[in-house]
Amino acid sequence: MAFQELEQRIEHAFSLGAAAAAERASVDAFNELRSALESGALRSAEPDPGTELGWKVNAWVKRGILLGFRLGTLVDMDGGSYVDKHTFPARTWTPEEGVRIVPGGSSVRAGAFLAKSVVCMPPMYVNVGAYVDEGTMVDSHALVGSCAQIGKRVHLSAAAQIGGVLEPVNASPVIIEDDVLVGGNTGVYEGTIVRSKAVLAAGTILTRGTPVYDVVNGTTLRATADLPLIIPSGAVVVPGSRAISKPGAEGLSIYTPIIVKYRDEKTELSLALEDLLR
C-alpha cells in the first residue's frame, strides 16, 4: 500500500483530538495528505472491482481532511475578502496544469483534484477531497461536494448539485462514473452512485431515500442498509411522480425519478454538441 505510512500518521494525529495542533508531526502529515489529494495520487474513494460496489472508501483519508479543519485557524484571505481555515485555501492554477478555469467567481478548495482538460464555467465550486477526472465540464452554478468522485467526460450542467460527505467517515461519497450527463438543476446526494453513460434529465433529484422506478425492466431501485442507491449504466432518468395511496391523500402525488429508457443512438446524438464547448 503506497500510503500505508501516511495512513498511520494521519490516524495517530486524528486520535490526539485537539492536542494534534500542538504537534508539528500532525501538521506535516496533513500537509502531505492534502498534496497527495491535489495531485490525484490519493483519493477518498477509488475504483475497486473486487468490491460489491466496485469502489473502495478510504475512510482514513476523510479523517485526514477532518484533521485539517481541526488544525486550521481562521485567517484573512485575498486581502480580507474571505475568512476561512488556513489549512484549506483556494487553489491557484498555471496553464501547464491544463485545467480551464473561466473568469467569473469560481473556486476550487485546496485538497481537491482536477485533471487535465477539465473545464470550469463560472461561478462554480469544488470542495475539498473531490476528484474530477479528464474531459469533464463543471458548468455555471454547479457544486462538486466534499469527497465526491466525478469520472471522465462527465457534464455537470448548470446548477447541478453533487452532494458532499465527510461524516460519517466510513460512508460512501457520491460517485458519478464516466460519460454521465447530469442535467441542469439536478441533485445527487447521500452516497448515490451513478454508473457510466447514465443520463439524469434536468430537475432529477436522487437521495438515499428516493426509490427509482425502472419502467423498462419493471423494477424499483432503492438503497439498502448496506448499499447506496445505484443508477444503472446507460439509464435515462427523468423526474416523475406517483400517486399517494394512503387514505386522506386522494389526488395527491409524490416526486419519483423514473428510468424511461436506456441510452441509444438518438440519445448519443443529443449529447454530441458537448464536444464543441470544450
Does 186 share its domain with 67? no
Q: Which ranges constitute the DSSP H helices of the chain?
A: 4-15, 24-39, 59-71, 265-271
The CA-CA-CA angle for residues 216, 53, 131, to 5°, reads 105
pTM comes to: 0.94
Angle (CA) 110-183-277 rounded to 5° is 70
41, 100: one domain: no
Spatial contact of 65 and 35, defined as CB atoms under 8 Å apart: no
CA dihedral angle for residue 151, residue 152, residue 156, residue 157, rounded to 10 degrees: -160
Tens digit of each residue's pLDDT, the chain (278 residues): 589 999 999 999 999 999 999 999 999 999 999 999 999 999 999 999 999 999 999 999 999 999 999 999 999 998 888 999 999 999 999 999 999 999 999 999 999 999 999 999 999 999 999 999 999 999 999 999 999 999 999 999 999 999 999 988 888 899 999 999 999 999 999 999 999 999 999 999 999 999 999 999 999 999 999 999 999 999 999 999 998 888 888 889 999 999 999 998 777 766 665 554 45
- Is there a domain that residue 131 lies in? yes
| Domain of residue 55, CATH code | 1.10.166.10
Burial string for 51-68 (b: 16+ CB within 10 Å, else e) reads eebebebbbbbbbbbebb
Judge if 148 and 176 occupy the same domain. Answer: yes
CA distance 137 to 157: 8
Asked if residue 90 is part of any domain, the answer here is no
Total domain count for the chain?
2
Phi and psi at 90, nearest 5°, equal -70, 145
For residue 227, which amino acid is it? Answer: L
Q: Which domain holds residue 175?
A: 95-273
The upper half-sphere exposure of residue 148, i.e. CA atoms within 13 Å in the direction of its Cβ, equals: 30
In angstroms, how far is CA 258 from the centroid of its own chain? 22
